[in-house]
Each structure stands twice: as C-alpha cells, then as structure tokens.
Chain A
Amino acid sequence: MSPAEAAKREDFRAILDMVRPGARVLDIGCGEGLLLEMLARENGVEGRGLELSPANVSLCLARGLAVVQGDADHDLADFPNQSFDYAVLTQTLQAVRRPREVLAELLRIGERAIVSLPNFAHWKMRWELLTHGRMPTTRALPRAWWETDNIHLCTLRDFTVLCDELGLRIEASMALADGQAARSIDPQRAIENWRAEAGLFLLSRK
C-alpha cells in the first residue's frame, strides 16, 4: 500500500475523524505506519506503534515513527495504564489468540479504543454458507479456512455482546465497505448485521 492509497482508505479516514487533534495514539498492528503517518500529519497526533513484522518495523523507523516490534497477544502488557488517549486495533482482533483479553488491554492502555473487524454475519457470508455449505471466502476474508490468520471471527452482534460483558460503552459505530465512505450505524439493529461488511467502533469504559 502506498501513502496515496492509504489516504483513500475509508477506515483510515473514519479513524482520522474520530481522533481528537493532538492526541496520543497507539496503533497496534501498525503495518508500514501509514495510518500513524496520516494521524501525525493531519491530526498532529503523537503516535506510537506495535508491529509484528521486522520488515514493517524497519519501514516505520525510516518514516520517523516510534514503533516497537511485538504482537497484541503478548506485548501490550509492556505499555503503562492509561498512557494513550486512543488505542487503535484495525482488522486484527479476529486474528489474536485471546480477543477478550486484548480488548480489555486496549482500554487499560488507552482512554478510548478504536477497533475494526470483519462482520461474519454480512449477507455475502451467510449466502456462501447457505448455498455452498463451506467456509466463505470473500473480498473481506479472502483466505481458505486452513490458511487464514482469522481464528476468532465474529459478527457485529457478537462484538456488541462482548462489549456489554466487558462493561464497555460503544460511543460510535460505523459500517465499512470497500470503496464506500464509512456510514454511521446503530450496531444493535439486525439489518446492520446483514449489511455491514466490517464494523468500526469507538469504545470507552462505562
């Protein structure tokens, strides 16, 4: 992904709209650091990153970003309580070993968490499962079941229930679809659980 492509990513744009200017942000799974770079440039954010791939960490260093190699399951414990205004986790929660603990960690580290995840209840998923009886492979989830990193897929409904159990307030919800502007939704509505390809949430503690 090039910086120009990153600038067009609707989930990035939606996150830029959510983050208060000048805030401290931890981007977990920050990749090449493109979101952090946009946040710094457009929102004056003081950013930090956590990234698994050494090659990506190198790219982040060359961009002047402060990024630590590590993964969400093991290395969030290294960050102090409430050290960030926002902890951001995009398209990663479904790939961690302990999503529940990671979600709790986000709101230990950050005053707010921004989380995006694919919606397994999207109509295309349901249709594939219904018609072929096989694990769906779609644009949002392109890999076969035996090679996917997504070991903890869930639906929007599942996610809102988990937030409730963890005592988290959903301050904002957006539906994401490739190439379309993020759309504000009520995640409790059944229709959105059909329509949203992915969800983006702004969370805080109740």
Chain B
Amino acid sequence: MDKDVTSADAPDAQGGYARAGGTLAFGPGKPLRLDSGGSLDHVEIAYRTYGSLNAERSNAILICHALTGDQHVASEHPITKKPGWWTQMVGPGRPLDPTKHFIICANVIGGCMGTTGPSSINPATGKPWGLSFPVITIPDMVRAQVMLIDALGVDQLFAVVGGSMGGMQALQWAADYPERVYSVVCLAAAARHSAQNIAFHELGRQAIMADPDWRGGDYAAHGVRPEKGLGVARMAAHITYLSEQALQRKFGRELQRDGLSWGFDADFQVESYLRHQGATFVDRFDANSYLYITRATDYFDMAAGHGGLLADAFVKAREVRFCVLSFTSDWLYPTPESRAIVRALNAAGARASFLEIESDKGHDAFLLDEPVMRNAVAGFLASAGQTRGLGAGGLDVGGLASGSLQP
C-alpha cells in the first residue's frame, strides 16, 4: 500500500466548516527524493485541513508555515493550547476563508509536530534518527507537500500562501510546480538567505550544540534534552523577529521589580520576556529539528541553480499570479529582498504585485493583526478567485472595491 492514514484527528465542524487532519504515512513505494542525493522511505506527513474541497477541486489553498510553525494554523495547538498561529488571516470572513476555501497546512519535513524529522524513529534502526537524519532543503519540504496534495486529490492549488520560511516554500512551489499553482502569496520572505541570516542561525545552532545535554544529537537515547541551548537559540532568534522600536515600545528600560539586583537576575523586563520566550519554546520544539530546519533555510538560494539569475528560476511561472508583501521594519528579510523577488518576476514576465507595508513591528508583523496586509491579501485572493471561477462570496472586500481605502 502506497499510503495509509495512520492516525486521523476527529473531524468536526466547529465554526460552521469542516475541520480534519491527521498523519499520512507513505509506504516504501513512495520515497521522498532529497536534494542531498538520497531519499527518505516511510515518510509521514502531519497536516490539518479547514473547509471542504469543492466539486471542481479548484479551491485548495496550501499554507506553508515558518521556521518554528506547524500545521495548527487555525486550530488549538496540542501542547500550548493556543488557538492557532494565524487566526487573524484564517477563518470565516478572513482572507483565507474555510467556508469558501479548502485550506491545507502541513508540518514541514524535518519538523517535530508529527511529520518525519530527526526525532522520528529511523525504520532501519528502530531508534530516533538524530544527526543521521539527512540534511533537508526548502525544495525537499515542497516535494513532501506535493505528495500530500496528491494524496488529498488536489491537482492545482488555488494559492500557496506563506510568510518567512513559508514564503520561501511558496516561491519554490511556483518555480518547481508552476502548473500546479494558480497564485502565490509571499510575505516577509527572501529568495535566498543573506550572510546575516546565516550568521544568526549559526549562533542558534552553536548554542544548541554547546549544551552538554545535546550529546552529539543523541539526547533522546540519554533521556535528556538540550533545553538551555535551544532556549538561548530561541532568545537570539526572537530578537531578530522584532524591530528595535517594537522592543523599545514594549519594554524600554522597565525593571521587573523596584531597583536593580546588582547581579545577573532578569532585572529588565526585556530580559524576563526573552527568558520566557526561550523557556516556553523548548516545551514545543525539538533541538535537532531546529538544527535541520535552520540549515534548510541557510541553504536556500533560488538563483543558485540558475547561474545566479533569480529571474531564470521563474521562467516557467509566467502564468502564476504573485503577491509579494514586505514590512518596513523587518530587518530579518528586509524590503530589498522582496524587491529582488519582484524584479526577477518582472524579468521573467510573471504577474507580480508588490506592496511594502508600513509597520514598526518587525519581521513578526506578518503573524500579527495588520489590516493593510489583511486587505491586500483578501483583495488579491478575491480577484484571483473570480478569474479562477470561485466567486467572491464570503469575503468582505466591498470596502476595497468601492474605494473606501482612499487616503
């Protein structure tokens, strides 16, 4: 048997639309080919769906999650019990509307929320893969998503939507499978990792590997977890997700309690906040997954396979509609990175739209309630939906069409 649903979440219709999901297990006849040369057998992909596939199978939207995201885009996270990481964008009346779209979100390959990754059991040894797991890439993640949408009976996705590392996957989809993608929404992303991006990731990886509990990646066998190292990695990364203004506004020089401790406790609120971010992150994330997924983004360079010409990566994607958005205060994937994508799309003759959104919230703005982003994505998807024959019902873009956004 090629594939088998090993586990299925209990389907329900909370919020007036179908919600389902589970884990797809692919048999040995369905290996996942990897950029590193080999392939992975017995791949499992954990995913969630929201809404129903229409009769024409034309309303499927794939959401690609960011570095430490997961498939719980609009459903309660099993560990943190939070309501989903993108409920501002996904839900009835939102730009990604499960009463209208069939929304799919899957944990990436290399992840730790049910999809095969370094913490999974290597079927050949019966033990966790650890560092014997092959290095994976963004195109590998996309190839696994293709296996998933094949299994779900979707030929062409109406849209692939993602922010940050999710945006990288969305671009890769258009480059590698242009005939299977009608439109792409790429938020706060880049077509390659910069030296600074790689540098911050290396800092995080070194923090993990310097933790004695990491045990050369074999911590599971020793019954420990490199929580200190992973926490520090998260703290450093979290700073890159926020802007200087956002940090200053949120914390300034505010103290935790009256007076200084004259020691190295968390005197400042910003210290306490970062420690909390690190401490809670280790509850829901695996250290080796962090190594593998950061590596995948560091290796990401869409122009590399095309003699350095990014435009050549998109020559087959001329029919795809692209919406590229960046945020003014994002210094992790700053606007020039998005402009480079748009320039390449223009050079390739693709249908590219681009908007830089004014926000002082830094890279994380794409995860927050940003009305300009919401309106832009809603308008883009609604008009693409009309040309795709999905109709415009369910989306509140009336204000946009009648010009109420006029400055």
Query: Which residues of A sit under 8 angstroms from B384, Cβ to Cβ?
Result: 64
B352 CB contact (under 8 Å) in A2, A62, A66: A66
- Say whether B354 contacts A68, CB under 8 Å: yes
B405 CB contact (under 8 Å) in A58, A66, A70: A58
- Say whether B383 contacts A69, CB under 8 Å: no
- Say whether B346 contacts A80, CB under 8 Å: yes
Tell me the bound Cα distance from A83 to B349 in angstroms: 8
Complex: chain B residue closest to A66, CB-CB: B351
Tell me the bound Cα distance from A67 to B325 in angstroms: 12
Complex: chain A residue closest to B379, CB-CB: A62
B259 interfacial by beta-carbon distance below 8 Å: no
Q: For chain A, residues 51 to 91, give those with C-beta under 8 angstroms from any C-beta of chain B.
A: 53-55, 57-70, 75, 78-80, 83
Tell me the bound Cα distance from A63 to B397 in angstroms: 10
Q: For chain B, residues 336 to 368, give those with C-beta under 8 angstroms from any C-beta of chain A.
A: 339, 342-343, 346-347, 349, 351-358
Contact status of A58 and B351, CB under 8 A, knowing A32-B403, A78-B346, A80-B346: no
Query: Which residues of A sit under 8 angstroms from B342, Cβ to Cβ?
Result: 68, 78
A1–chain B nearest beta-carbon distance, Å: 8
Complex: chain B residue closest to A80, CB-CB: B347
A55 CB contact (under 8 Å) in B380, B383, B405: B405
Tell me the bound Cα distance from A53 to B379 in angstroms: 16
- Say whether B346 contacts A68, CB under 8 Å: yes
Tell me the bound Cα distance from A63 to B380 in angstroms: 8
Interface string of B176-191 (1 = CB under 8 A from A): 0000000000000000
Interface string of A16-41 (1 = CB under 8 A from B): 00000000000000001000000000
Query: Which residues of B sit under 8 angstroms from A62, Cβ to Cβ?
Result: 375, 378-380, 382-383, 397, 400-401
Complex: chain B residue closest to A24, CB-CB: B349
Query: Which residues of B sit under 8 angstroms from A55, Cβ to Cβ?
Result: 405-407
Tell me the bound Cα distance from A32 to B407 in angstroms: 11
Complex: chain B residue closest to A67, CB-CB: B353
Query: Which residues of A sit under 8 angstroms from B400, Cβ to Cβ?
Result: 58-59, 62
- Say whether B383 contacts A64, CB under 8 Å: yes
Complex: chain B residue closest to A78, CB-CB: B343
Contact status of A66 and B383, CB under 8 A, knowing A78-B343, A79-B346: no
B321 interfacial by beta-carbon distance below 8 Å: yes
Interface string of B374-407 (1 = CB under 8 A from A): 0110111011101100000000010011010111
B148 interfacial by beta-carbon distance below 8 Å: no
Contact status of A54 and B372, CB under 8 A, knowing A62-B397, A68-B352: yes
Query: Which residues of B sit under 8 angstroms from A61, Cβ to Cβ?
Result: 323, 353, 355, 376, 379-380, 383
- Say whether B386 contacts A64, CB under 8 Å: yes
Tell me the bound Cα distance from A57 to B406 in angstroms: 11
Tell me the bound Cα distance from A70 to B97 in angstroms: 30
Complex: chain A residue closest to B349, CB-CB: A83
- Say whether A78 contacts B379, CB under 8 Å: no
Query: Which residues of A sit under 8 angstroms from B376, Cβ to Cβ?
Result: 57-58, 61
- Say whether B353 contacts A68, CB under 8 Å: yes
Complex: chain A residue closest to B378, CB-CB: A62
Tell me the bound Cα distance from A65 to B353 in angstroms: 8
Query: Which residues of B sit under 8 angstroms from A60, Cβ to Cβ?
Result: 353
Query: Which residues of B sit under 8 angstroms from A59, Cβ to Cβ?
Result: 379, 400-401, 403, 405
Which of B352, B355, B380, B400 has most A Cβ within 10 Å? B355
Sample (22) of A-B pairs whose CB atoms are under 8 Å apart: A2-B403, A32-B403, A48-B346, A57-B354, A58-B372, A59-B403, A61-B323, A61-B379, A62-B379, A62-B382, A62-B383, A62-B400, A64-B387, A66-B352, A67-B353, A68-B352, A68-B353, A69-B355, A69-B356, A78-B339, A78-B342, A79-B346
In the A-B complex, the 9 residue pairs with the closest CB atoms: A62-B379, A64-B383, A62-B400, A78-B343, A61-B379, A66-B351, A68-B354, A61-B380, A55-B405
Q: Other CB < 8 Å A-B pairs besides A64-B386, A83-B346, 17 of them?
A: A32-B403, A54-B356, A57-B354, A57-B376, A58-B375, A59-B401, A59-B405, A61-B376, A62-B379, A64-B387, A66-B351, A66-B352, A68-B353, A68-B354, A80-B346, A83-B347, A83-B349
